Structure 1
Amino acid sequence: MAEISIKPEREYLHEIVTKIKKGIYGVPSFQRSFVWRKEQVLDLFDSIQHGYPIGSILLWKPEPKQFPLKSRDIITDEIDEESKPEYYILDGRQRLTSFYCSVLHYDDKKDIFNICYNLEKECFEYVKKPQLHILKVSDLYDTFLMLEKLQQIMDYYKNDQDKAQTYVNRARKINSVLQSYQIGEMLLENCDINEASTVFSRLNSKGTDISKVSMLQAVFYKSKEDVLISDSINEFINSLAVYGFETLKSDDILNCCYRYVGKNFYDTQLLKDLDKLDFTPHWNEIKEDISNTVKFLHDECYVISSKLLPYVKQLIALAGFFKEHKNPTYEQRQELKKWFFYTTYNQSFLNGSLTIVRTLFRRFERFIVGDEKTAIEYESIEIGSDSLNFRYATGSALSNFMVLSLVYKYISLNPNADIVFCDPIKMYRNDPRGVIPYFRTEDRIKVINLQSADSHFYESYAISQEMIKNVNDKECFCKLREKIILEIERELLKYVGLECS
């Protein structure tokens, strides 16, 4: 295979506009839609005005045998069946769309692209109605249109030649800036989408990767009648809001899907096989199985929000079980709960090593098919005085286990309560002993005040009357609450069938 070619270039923005207009540069169908806000567009043009760098763009030239790629219209975001760009924009889509759509004239322009330049204040801004000295960027960018506007200014200020000349000079200066601004380009050639994605993730300042769902979209979208995979997944995720799981990522759902086409999410060659993976025939079954999995986590494992899911890999494993067992027995559900809390407390998936992940999943898969009686080899769990010796952070397994234990306690005392996960109150920064999650928005004030509720209320939130009396004594408060939390954690682990000391 030929070596990947990465060529750094510099190019004028106005030349890029021309190439986009001619279809030489295109937005691939797997790119996310335009999502910038007006403030970001203003910042972009302000940076251009002052000569600040706005970052490089990454362009990819597919190999001749690369699977057929569709493009999005840069203005409407609709799939363009006819376009065949030479290069696809992998990074820089938001910036290029902002500039391109703002400087050109076309019908039905969105408000966000109707940015103007104030010749008096010498700044870019949004106005409801352009005035003589407030020109649309599209008028300033087009030299001929700008000359027409400048003539109007000269005519209007014929009795004040100094002001007229000032406005004229400022308009010409901005026109020159817009026409002469250069941006860095990285041109990727001689590589497939997988390799291009890897380069993108290494160069991207946020370390993000091109979504695998986005790549699948590029593979399987062939006509206007086809359902957009990414849209279908996002719609499904939104439907999980009833369980508080609307913050799942599209790739989390995708990783649950591989089992339906005989693959595993941890297979190293998955990206190279994307063109062979078609989940669409299984989509209804996939949605049903994942929904049952999420319902199980919500109702029986106290995961009342996807923010409290210790590891997405747990969701993937459990979805694999629900694929093969549509109606698990009571004993099977008990084992799944036991496995979930054991792998959570022991932070079993903390190490992302594929070797460790494969070992855990293969043992779980033997349980799925009945070759093992348990989903993992259990050992006794030790809960000691150092069990809460960590920094609280939503998303970490230990933090989430503590909150799940408190959810368990709250529900046991308030079995009919309709609860949600709210961002917890942190009394002593990130010390978990001072972190108090509350499960109804109206409870926040009572938790903060610690003086205005009955004993049942505070017991539900693992707060004692003695703690309330010592609220100003951090050391005393934390020691008292630590004892209560650890007892609740032991109670939960024993409840799901785990041995602990």
Structure 2
Amino acid sequence: MTSSARSFRDLVTDAHDGKLKLPAFQRGWRWRTDKVIKLFDSLRQGYPIGALLFLKGENELLAPRTFEGAHVQAPDKAADFLVLDGQQRLTAGIHLLYATGPRQYYLRLDRLFELCCSKKINFEIKEEVIQFVHDLDETDSYISARPRTVDPRSQLVKKHLLCTSLLADSTELNLAILDYVAEYSDRRDFAYRLIVPFFSLAKTDTVPVIEIEATTQIESISRIFTTLNTTGQMLTPFELVVSILFPKDIDLTQEIKDFREKGKYYESMDGTGEILLQTIAMLGGKEPKKANLPKTINAEIYTTYKESAFQSLEALGKFLTDNLGAALDSKGVDMVPYDAIYAPMALALKEINGRNLKGLDKLNAEKKLARWYVGSALSQRYQEGVHNKQVRDYEDFKLWLNNDSSVPSWLTEVTIPRLLRHSPNGAIGKLIRGLINYRNPKDPVSSNGIGFRPGAFPTEKHHIFPKKYLPTMAGWNKGDQGDVILNLMFLESETNRRWINGNPADHVQEASNNHGDAIIAENYRLQFIDRTAFEVLKRPSKSKEDFEEFVLLREKSIQDHIAASFNFTMAGVEEINDEEDEPED
């Protein structure tokens, strides 16, 4: 076994060309786009991405195969090495440097320029540019993944999108920048003093490569692979803060555990410990950006604000649970649209409580807080550029507290969107599940109290038109969507087991064995299924048209409730697709 250091750029080229291949026993490509983006950010910054493990030669017993995105002639080449550990990183590298994957990756030049303007970067001062580049990371949404196109370069002038494959070739990069600057002459310094020198991937840092001799036994290869397999990911910000505080006699990991045991709500709010650290940062007047927590959290700030941060989060957990059905006192329930809202909203509630408001004044302040929460979900506000919005939204909220007419500008633009295509697990789906939970629903059959709160009977989510029933309806086509929030309700676990399949009319009929029609209809109404929609469910045979009629009726009930309760107006007829996995512009 020997070790060496090689350029990651050269290794990606070898993987693309077929000089590096994979053994058949390796699982396929499985990285999501967010991991590819994180790898790009590490390469740009020159951060270590972990060692790679190679086997010399092309071993027929391991059935060599090419990387996803490799050149069409790659299978015809004999491999110099088989990659035992490094498939995900090298495949991601192929997608970034050659743009041959199912997704292509682009620098969002408009986003980068916006960030530079907001920080008032003077491109002629190199130190300012270097500091900007250093502070930038993937959470700033400066890079995005798009469906593959034949000519990715065409996106540059039209949409300010610079494909990462152009960054890998200095000649192509300079030609592309010439075209861009010709169209946007005011961005010349931005392009030549920031993009070209600091985002080029023509050269990359070296990575450690461990090479195993070709004569190594197959059993040993398998054992080495299992033992040494790594991901190339860096330590999380929380783990870095742990290491920073430990020499100061602060065991952060243990203290987070203590807070979770001590609190009623905190455990459900902060799975990593980073929410507490963000709240501490904001209390200390620092920015809450997760990537910068190792720089902003020191022993003094942590010790000064940890208890206040914990208490503020606990108070917020109670508020969201009691007023918006967030169920943060129940384990394993995910009904908060964005965890990014916790830190700024905890400080906002602390501000309200610190003013000792009474009666209508306190009610008015809490209504503003609830409107902020609902508005952020409806507009999917915290899908990108999060940390800047956290600080700004908190400051705007304080102004709003002082003056009813100082409504945050972003909030005045929020409208209630169409709900037809929203999934149960997106921001709006989570919001609606919380609103149902807040209404203390009852099971249609037993009339027992259900939902996610102490004292409720065991509750499960249920598709009103079950997944297996939908394809049996006339007019239902393969690919039609039934897993949407408007087709979801809560049931007692016992009822859900019986109703997992079948016609909703049969379910209503079973409920009628225990209760009169008025009681059953009321139990459905509590879950935003009004009398007209309830009558649709009672129809003996159903078609796709019945399903569509039902979801339209339920959509209106939910929209009317949000409008009346939180003072938002309806949007137009355009639907918003709640796909949060890969945010767009």
Shorter chain as denominator, the TM-score bin is 0.5 to 0.7
For structure 1, which runs of at least 5 residues remain unmatched after alignment? 13-50, 59-172, 187-199
Q: Which residue of 1 aligns with 2:577?
A: none
CA distance in 1, matches of 2:275, 2:311: 15
CA distance in 1, matches of 2:540, 2:267: 35
Task: Tell me if the contact between 1:302 and 1:408 (Cα under 8 Å) persists in the aligned partners.
Answer: yes
Pair 1:451-2:509 in alignment? yes
Q: Which residue of 1 aligns with 2:305?
A: 282
Task: Tell me if the contact between 2:316 and 2:345 (Cα under 8 Å) persists in the aligned partners.
Answer: yes
Q: 1:215 aligns with which of 233, 237, 240?
A: 240
Task: Tell me if the contact between 1:424 and 1:437 (Cα under 8 Å) persists in the aligned partners.
Answer: yes
Q: 1:53 aligns with which of 84, 102, 115?
A: 84
Q: Which residue of 2 aligns with 1:294?
A: 317
Residue 430 of structure 1: CA displacement?
Answer: 4.5
Q: Which residue of 2 aligns with 1:388?
A: 419
Report the residue type matching 1:266 in the other structure. Answer: K
Within-5 A mapping of 1:108-127 = none
Task: Tell me if the contact between 2:461 and 2:490 (Cα under 8 Å) persists in the aligned partners.
Answer: yes
Q: Which residue of 2 aligns with 1:406?
A: 436
Q: Which residue of 2 aligns with 1:420?
A: 452
From the superposition, tell whether residues 299 and 447 of structure 1 become closer, same or farther in structure 2 (CA, over 3 Å): farther
From the superposition, tell whether residues 361 and 283 of structure 1 become closer, same or farther in structure 2 (CA, over 3 Å): closer
Q: 2:381 aligns with which of 348, 356, 368?
A: 348
Task: Tell me if the contact between 1:381 and 1:498 (Cα under 8 Å) persists in the aligned partners.
Answer: yes
Task: Tell me if the contact between 1:317 and 1:361 (Cα under 8 Å) persists in the aligned partners.
Answer: yes
CA distance in 2, matches of 1:246, 1:356: 19
Within-5 A mapping of 1:359-378 = 359-367=392-400, 370=402, 374=406, 376-377=408-409, 378=411
Q: Which residue of 2 aligns with 1:495?
A: 565
CA distance in 2, matches of 1:444, 1:437: 10
Instruction: Supply the RMSD in Å over aligned alpha carbons.
Output: 4.5
CA distance in 2, matches of 1:185, 1:265: 35
From the superposition, tell whether residues 498 and 408 of structure 1 become closer, same or farther in structure 2 (CA, over 3 Å): farther
Task: Tell me if the contact between 1:213 and 1:250 (Cα under 8 Å) persists in the aligned partners.
Answer: yes
Q: Which residue of 2 aligns with 1:36?
A: none
Pair 1:468-2:519 in alignment? no
Q: Tell me the secondary structure at the aligned position of residue 222 of structure 1.
A: helix
Residue 177 of structure 1: CA displacement?
Answer: 3.0
Task: Tell me if the contact between 1:261 and 1:277 (Cα under 8 Å) persists in the aligned partners.
Answer: no
Q: Tell me the secondary structure at the aligned position of residue 469 of structure 1.
A: coil
TM-score (structure 1 length as normaliser)? 0.53
Q: Which residue of 1 aligns with 2:484?
A: 432
What whole-Å deviation, never above 9, does each CA across 1:67-109 have from its counterpart, x for those lacking one? xxxxxxxxxxxxxxxxxxxxxxxxxxxxxxxxxxxxxxxxxxx
Q: Which residue of 2 aligns with 1:151?
A: none
Task: Tell me if the contact between 2:237 and 2:292 (Cα under 8 Å) persists in the aligned partners.
Answer: no
Task: Tell me if the contact between 2:352 and 2:365 (Cα under 8 Å) persists in the aligned partners.
Answer: no
Residue 216 of structure 1: CA displacement?
Answer: 1.4
Residue 175 of structure 1: CA displacement?
Answer: 12
Deviates more, 1:479-488 or 1:434-443: 434-443
Task: Tell me if the contact between 1:364 and 1:376 (Cα under 8 Å) persists in the aligned partners.
Answer: yes
Residue 54 of structure 1: CA displacement?
Answer: 5.6
Report the residue type matching 2:376 in the other structure. Answer: T
Residue 337 of structure 1: CA displacement?
Answer: 1.1
CA distance in 2, matches of 1:413, 1:244: 28
Within-5 A mapping of 1:92-171 = none
CA distance in 1, matches of 2:48, 2:526: 61
Task: Tell me if the contact between 1:462 and 1:481 (Cα under 8 Å) persists in the aligned partners.
Answer: no
CA distance in 2, matches of 1:480, 1:311: 29
Task: Tell me if the contact between 1:302 and 1:407 (Cα under 8 Å) persists in the aligned partners.
Answer: yes
Aligned residues: 324
Greater Rg over alpha carbons, structure = 1
Report the residue type matching 1:351 in the other structure. Answer: E
Deviates more, 1:449-458 or 1:292-301: 449-458
Q: Tell me the secondary structure at the aligned position of residue 408 of structure 2.
A: coil
Task: Tell me if the contact between 1:293 and 1:322 (Cα under 8 Å) persists in the aligned partners.
Answer: yes
CA distance in 1, matches of 2:407, 2:370: 10
For structure 2, which runs of at least 5 residues remain unmatched after alignment? 1-44, 56-81, 90-215, 454-458, 468-480, 501-506, 572-585
Residue 298 of structure 1: CA displacement?
Answer: 0.5
Residue 307 of structure 1: CA displacement?
Answer: 1.1
Q: Which residue of 2 aligns with 1:337?
A: 370
Within-5 A mapping of 1:240-259 = 245=268, 248-259=271-282
Residue 290 of structure 1: CA displacement?
Answer: 0.7
Deviates more, 1:317-326 or 1:415-424: 415-424
Residue 294 of structure 1: CA displacement?
Answer: 0.5
Q: Which residue of 2 aligns with 1:397?
A: 427
